[in-house]
Chains A and B, each alone.
Chain A
Amino acid sequence: MAESILKEETFRVGETELRVLKGGQGKPLLVLHGEMGFPGWLQWEEAMAKKRTLWIPLHPGFGKTPMASWIMNVRDLGAFYSRFIREQKLTPVDVIGFSLGGWLAAEMAAANSGQFGKMILVGATGLRPPTGEIMDMFTVTARGYVNANVLDSQHNPEFAKLFGGEQTPEQYEAWEEARAETARIAWAPYMYTQSMSELLANVAGLPTLILWGKQDPVVPLSAGEMYHQKIVGSKLVTFDNCGHMPAVEKPAEFIKAVESFLD
């Protein structure tokens, strides 16, 4: 796999200096990372960068972009990004959100679906699952949580590339920053908005793809099915033998699903 082509740029959003990783060519694709921060350059990004310019903002408080103390919930963070994409004249932009980033995309879409062209939610938090519970990342270590995201953390080359080997001090710090900011915005109720199932009525008409690992141990598939049911016209694609990180665990199928939806 090639080295990352992403370059870091800084954009001012209100008082915040937002760091954004950018790279690729073509129409912009906004990538919203999850609760453990931007994991790194993956196969699907390499594939997408051939057709799309990836805009990967690093959420405030996750280390590189400074924390914004007024952002106290995911809706606040959504408002922050609405301002960002409006001021950068990206709207309507296609968006893909992973886990917490999926919740963020859903909040933004519910507030104003017109700011997006197409939306992809990957193992999104944000809804209270009708059955099962969202795995609590705050009663385990960062390492324990990351390992529990995938069905097999020992024999996956993509996962090993991102998270393998001894934990470095830099990785520890970055994960602790990510955990702290996620706690600030998603501590209780844990990882969802009480009213989300109702808010999603406002997403109707937005082309939406919902991607889920069938055995997702973090956000039960029942939440994916509920997203599908509540977002009228959405499409649900599931991956068998797959946990919470289909982009890592099933890269080929994942790329195929994303490409065919965005093309």
Chain B
Amino acid sequence: MHIMWFTERAYHYLPEEEVLKRRSFFGVPNTFFDAEKGAKLLNQYLDEKIYSDELGFDGVMLNEHHGTPFCMGAVMDVEAAVLARATKRVKIVLLGNPIPTVANPLRLAEELAMIDMISGGRLVPGWVRGAGSEQLANNANPAYNREYFDEAHDLIMAAWTKPGPFRWEGKHFHYRFVNPWVLPLQKPHPPIWIPGLISPETVKWCAAHKYPYVALATMLKPTLEMWDLYTNEAAAHGYQAGPENFGYLQPIFVHETEEKADELGRNFLFGGGFANFARPEWMFPPGYNSKEATRRLASLYANPNLPGKTLVPRHLHSMNDIAAIKKAVYDNYDTAKESLQIITGTPKSVMPKLRHVLEVLRPGIFSFWLDGPAPRADRMTCLRLLGTEVLPAVREIGKELGLADPFQVAPGSRPLAASGRPERVGSPRALGAN
């Protein structure tokens, strides 16, 4: 099992009201940003990543967002480059680069190749379509998002694996000279993992490419359904999916006492939490959604990527009473904990819940997720307890359940049964037992 640690690199000195009154992190004016404070925070986040290397995590996971105080990692590859040199052992897992928003994918191929070389072959790149707001922040035409994604992916893979120089005359990208003189250390190319919020199109695409799919803190039941979709698609491509094809990101807050852990967990809902407001003009720019997703949205005005209810009731989207909105957000804390969207506790008390998640989803890749404004000392305590107590216990469960990671079993290498019928990877029965 590959066990990682993740945090958005939030700017924590923002008045929560500024987020709540806009019902969005995206769009909060950057006049609220103090670079002195931001610089300290960015270094703190890097320190945490370096510490997790020392603690024995297998990987550190980074992501990227633009124009939002929720994540200062606007150019994730810069952080990855620092970690490539400053860490010794961990995989540097980038979930993911929003390739449709990158005007020059060839330069991205070069950046990533350099990170892989500097890290000694520890890079795991991943690709995302980018949230709706990323298209606006980068002025990337959302109506061509899928086309950009597919072509940029093919171009990067070609740049890494096809001998240069060659020409690239695509629909959206045009190069007269593709011949990068920096190439990844890992051959034929670094392993690629894809994160997602349960978009069926992405799940099927991953299965077709034998890329592990990492579900980002989604509800367990629809996540299992996506596992099945992936497994069936994998069978159509002639292989049996296994735990090595699946990953899961779990928000978790651990401390010495239940009370303290609970306090940290509550912070996770700061500003409504990520994406819970789903302000449509920024979440769903024109043409960003598939026709099918638009059809779903037409009758259900919610984020199609987040099955289940959002944390903020719909009627609050149009109201102006900040105190009432705030109350509605935090009133949902217990519900979020019940559904395991948030796990809190001591290293001991969180284990049954983690075991349940692992038994249901059986992922070969697992990442802890800590976020929300909290003092540095508390974050470090959480990380230390995760690394020294929770991580070894999770590793044991992984062994017991036979959860192979993509470095132990190559994704796509399991043969399909002679009948052609795939075996299910997750366990709906375990879900029912909860």
Contacts and interface: CB of A to CB of B under 8 A. Distances in A.
Interface of A: 138-141, 144, 169-170, 172-173, 176-177, 179-184, 187-188
Given A169-B299, A172-B298, A173-B295, A184 B141 contact: yes
B298 A169 contact: yes
Interface stretch (B149-157, B285-293, B412-420): B285-293
Contacts of B136: 138-139
Interface string B278-321: 00111011110100001101110000000000000000000000
B354 to A, nearest CB: 40
B289 A138 contact: no
Contacts of A180: 143, 286-287
10 contacts: A138-B286, A139-B136, A139-B282, A173-B294, A173-B295, A173-B298, A176-B284, A179-B286, A184-B143, A188-B141
A138 B297 CA distance: 17
A138 B294 contact: no
A178 to B, nearest CB: 9
Contacts of B139: 187-188
B317 to A, nearest CB: 11
Contacts of A139: 136, 281-282
Contact of B143 (A144, A173, A183): A183
Given A139-B282, A176-B297, A184-B144, 5 more contacts: A173-B295, A176-B286, A181-B143, A187-B139, A187-B141
Give the top 10 A-B pairs by smallest Cβ distance, nearest first.
Answer: A180-B287, A179-B286, A169-B298, A183-B143, A183-B286, A187-B141, A172-B298, A184-B143, A176-B294, A141-B281
Nearest to B144: A184
B142 A183 contact: yes
Contacts of A173: 294-295, 298
A182 B144 CA distance: 12
Contacts of B289: 176
B280 A141 contact: yes
Contacts of B299: 169
A18 to B, nearest CB: 19
Contacts of B144: 184
A141 B285 CA distance: 9
Contacts of B284: 176
Contact of A182 (B280, B282, B286): B286
A172 B298 CA distance: 6
Contacts of A144: 281
A183 B298 contact: no
Contact of B287 (A141, A172, A183): A183
A131 B139 CA distance: 23
Contact of A172 (B142, B143, B297): B297
B223 to A, nearest CB: 27
A140 B299 CA distance: 19
Nearest to A70: B171
A202 B141 CA distance: 31
Contacts of B281: 139-141, 144
Contacts of B280: 141
A184 B147 CA distance: 12
Contacts of B297: 172, 176
A55 B144 CA distance: 30
Contacts of A169: 298-299
A141 B294 CA distance: 14
A57 to B, nearest CB: 20
A17 B298 CA distance: 26
A141 B281 CA distance: 5
A184 B287 contact: yes
Q: Which of B139, B281, B284 has the most CB of A within 10 A?
A: B281
Contacts of A172: 294, 297-298
Given A138-B136, A180-B287, A187 B298 contact: no
A67 to B, nearest CB: 10
A187 B136 CA distance: 11
Contacts of A182: 286
A95 to B, nearest CB: 26
